[in-house]
């Protein structure tokens, strides 16, 4: 490989063994992501999407292969690959502000003064429109608000890659739509490189530059990669009748429900 | 049947339908704050204060009826109050030696409990963290804890008397050994049940071991730890009375034993009331601290 990509996943295999039984989850997965690109990984449940994300996050080790971020090998978790977890994972004993501040204070302990860190934390909370609830605890706010704080916490680390693990999966449809728009807007503004796990076809087409479609596990691999050449900023309502959008949507649906139909294990 | 039919393109019909009569809502007169507060106090009294008082009165009446017959082995409540009136009105007298008011006996017992329980909290949380953290520590220690925790408190007393050769540290040791097990076990369960999500968050922002301990582990396990602490404080109060009966000296346990030896049954009954009330207060104190500390944590 000549010029190395910003984020490069190279020939990654992952197998879990327990009690002598080895279960191969990922087989020879390779993917190059450019800086500022929004990538969605889509596939049926159990295809190892989350495992792939955890490998990039450094939370799970690889069995074979390697992941490079800016030419450096990824072998442990770190704030340059911030994760937004599916179930928000805010610490319930801290307020929204404190949840974000915990990350900010740790990541910028040396590079920012106390006042700068406070401003930075507030700015992230304002970015996701949560300033009004900054002193509330996670148990006192709605699911969508929790996820917004989860996103603010991840953005606050100024990650090189933002990893989203089905970030809108647990939300109702209206909240999801709203948050998708917000993430899209933030991404346009900050030019983050994003890797998002999803199983929502519309979400993938709407948000991504490229959609990575995974085959069914075990031994899942990348089946196809679809480019979504839609102009940004994208408008949900206008896209409904857009030719490219419809074609992209159809391609993903075809992949998921025709060629790689989810077969329930007996 | 003349309701307007709504059609997507029929603007007039939509308009007609959207006009509705506005009915003024007359707000009820707001009660004054004092009346409101009085109301709340009354509500509280009727739901939490009155029922136990009624039951207590019935029990006392029942007791009075049963024990008033001549020749009954226990005194009726009226007799208890007249017998112990001096102790009730003056809990602070001190005539030297063991002849002190109930306050001093309770204080001595509480001091022993405080020392023994404090050691149990420190050791229990530390061992609990160890067992919860390390699979090997759990495999090695857990079976031993499970056996030791079933040993009754008083069974430890002769052994600790042999080891310490003194009543005071022996009593404290018994308190410690009684209350430490629930603290260890609950802390360990709490640590083991920390959601992976929380430790993943800690890994991503790279908290070091000490930060993880103070910022994630302890607050996440706090509800469990406090459950252990609450059970522990109850057990230690149970154990102290029994231990003091045997070791002697100032203390509510010895007071009861001494009263038995001088056949002051009324004194025993009064002391039991005090023991119960103090135990209840101890439990409430720990519960109160738990509520204050784990605010929000339990309802993730």
d(CA A63, CA A77): 17
Average pLDDT, chain B: 87
Q: Is the pLDDT of residue B13 over 70?
A: no
> In this structure, how many other beta carbons lie within 10 angstroms of the beta carbon of residue B27?
6
The larger pLDDT score, comparing residue B59 to residue A169, is at B59
Rounded percentage of chain B residues whose pLDDT exceeds 70: 89
Give the pLDDT of residue B36. Answer: 86
Dihedral angle sign, alpha carbons of residues B86, B88, B93, B94: positive
d(CA B292, CA A93): 11
Q: What is the pTM of this model?
A: 0.78
Helix locations, B134-251, DSSP H = 135-148, 153-164, 167-192, 196-204, 209-211, 218-247
pLDDT digits (tens, 9 = 90+) for B65-123: 988 888 888 898 988 888 888 888 888 888 877 778 889 999 999 999 999 999 999 99
Closest CA to A24 of A163, A206, A215: A215
With residue B133 as reference, give the H or E element that holds it. helix B102-133
Q: What is the dihedral of CA A190, A194, A199, A202, to 10 degrees?
A: 40
> In this structure, how many other beta carbons lie within 10 angstroms of the beta carbon of residue B58?
10
Min Cα separation B289/chain A (Å): 15
Give the pLDDT of residue B3. Answer: 62
User: Would you call B297 an interface residue with chain A, using a CB distance cutoff of 8 Å?
Assistant: yes
| Phi/psi at B167 (5° precision) | -70, -45
Contact list in A for residue B197 (CB cut-off 8 A) is 85, 87, 89
Q: Is the pLDDT of residue A259 over 80?
A: no
In a mutational test of the A interface, the residue from B205, B216, B292, B294 whose CB has the highest number of chain A CBs within 10 Å is B205
Q: Which two tokens stand for residue B23?
A: 């009915």
Min Cα separation A197/chain B (Å): 17
User: Would you call B211 an interface residue with chain A, using a CB distance cutoff of 8 Å?
Assistant: yes
Name the band, by pLDDT with cuts 50, 70 and 90, for residue A263.
low
- Cβ-defined contact of B294 to A93 (cutoff 8 Å): yes
B261-292 burial code (b ≥16 CB/10 A, e <16): eeebebbbbbbeebbeebbeebeeebeeebee
DSSP B94: B
Min Cα separation A137/chain B (Å): 7
pLDDT digits (tens, 9 = 90+) for A229-252: 988 888 888 888 899 999 999 999
d(CA A197, CA A190): 20
Name the band, by pLDDT with cuts 50, 70 and 90, for residue B299.
very low
Contact list in A for residue B295 (CB cut-off 8 A) is 93, 137
d(CA A81, CA A71): 14
d(CA B198, CA B215): 10
Q: Check: CB of residue A130 under 8 Å from CB of residue A144.
A: no
For residue B197, the chain A residue with the least C-alpha distance is: A89
ipTM of the complex in this document: 0.86
Residue A81: CB partners within 8 Å, gap ≥ 6?
A56, A57, A58, A69, A74, A159, A160, A161, A163, B204
pLDDT digits (tens, 9 = 90+) for B183-225: 999 999 999 999 998 999 999 999 998 999 999 999 999 999 9
Q: Is the pLDDT of residue A197 over 80?
A: yes
List the strands of the sheet with A210-214, edge to edge.
Answer: A83-84, A161-165, A193-198, A38-42, A210-214, A222-227
């Amino acid at each position: 490989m000549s010029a190395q990509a910003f984020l490069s996943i190279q020939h990654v295999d992952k197998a879990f063994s327990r009690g002598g039984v080895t279960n191969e989850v990922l087989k020879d997965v390779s993917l190059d992501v450019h800086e500022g690109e929004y990538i969605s990984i889509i596939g049926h449940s159990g295809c190892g999407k989350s495992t792939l994300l955890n490998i990039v996050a450094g939370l799970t080790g690889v069995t074979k292969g390697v992941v490079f971020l800016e030419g450096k090998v990824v072998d442990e978790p770190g704030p340059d690959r911030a994760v937004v977890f599916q179930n928000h994972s805010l610490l319930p004993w801290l307020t929204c502000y404190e949840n974000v501040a915990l990350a900010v204070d740790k990541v910028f302990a040396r590079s920012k003064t106390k006042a700068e860190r406070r401003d930075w934390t507030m700015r992230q909370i304002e970015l996701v429109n949560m300033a009004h609830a900054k002193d509330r605890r996670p148990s006192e706010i709605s699911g969508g608000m929790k996820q917004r704080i989860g996103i603010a916490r991840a953005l606050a680390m100024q990650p090189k890659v933002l990893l989203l693990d089905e970030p809108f999966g647990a939300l109702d449809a209206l909240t999801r739509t709203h948050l998708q728009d917000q993430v899209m807007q933030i991404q346009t503004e900050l030019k983050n490189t994003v890797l998002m796990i999803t199983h929502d076809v519309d979400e993938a087409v709407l948000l991504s530059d490229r959609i990575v479609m995974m085959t069914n596990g075990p031994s899942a691999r990348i089946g196809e990669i679809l480019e979504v050449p839609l102009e940004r900023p994208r408008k949900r309502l206008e896209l409904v009748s857009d030719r490219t959008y419809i074609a992209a949507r159809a391609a993903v649906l075809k992949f998921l429900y025709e060629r790689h139909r989810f077969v329930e294990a007996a | 049947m003349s309701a307007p039919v709504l059609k997507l393109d029929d603007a007039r019909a939509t308009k007609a339908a959207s006009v509705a009569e506005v009915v003024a809502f007359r707000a009820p007169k707001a009660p004054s704050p004092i009346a409101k507060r009085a109301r709340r106090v009354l509500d509280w009294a009727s739901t939490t204060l009155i029922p136990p008082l009624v039951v207590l009165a019935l029990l006392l009446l029942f007791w009075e009826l049963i024990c008033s017959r001549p020749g009954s082995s226990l005194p009726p409540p009226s007799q208890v109050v007249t017998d112990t009136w001096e102790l009730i009105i003056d809990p602070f007298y001190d005539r030297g030696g063991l002849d002190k008011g109930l306050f001093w006996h309770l204080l001595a017992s509480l001091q022993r409990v405080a020392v023994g329980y404090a050691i149990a909290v420190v050791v229990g949380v530390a061992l609990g963290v160890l067992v919860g953290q390390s699979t090997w520590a759990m495999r090695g220690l857990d079976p031993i804890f499970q056996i030791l925790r079933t040993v009754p408190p008083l069974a430890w007393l002769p052994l600790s008397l042999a080891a310490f050769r003194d009543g005071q540290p022996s009593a404290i040791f018994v308190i410690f050994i009684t209350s430490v097990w629930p603290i260890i076990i609950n802390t360990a369960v709490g640590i083991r049940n920390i959601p992976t999500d929380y430790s993943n968050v800690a890994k991503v922002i790279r908290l070091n071991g000490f930060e993880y301990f103070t910022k994630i582990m302890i607050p996440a396990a706090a509800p469990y730890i406090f459950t252990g602490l609450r059970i522990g404080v109850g057990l230690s109060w149970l154990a102290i009375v029994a231990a003091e009966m045997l070791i002697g000296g100032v203390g509510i346990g010895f007071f009861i034993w001494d009263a038995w030896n001088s056949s002051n049954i009324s004194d025993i009954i009064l002391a039991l009331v005090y023991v119960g009330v103090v135990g209840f207060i101890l439990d409430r104190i720990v519960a109160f601290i738990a509520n204050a500390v784990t605010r929000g944590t339990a309802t993730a």
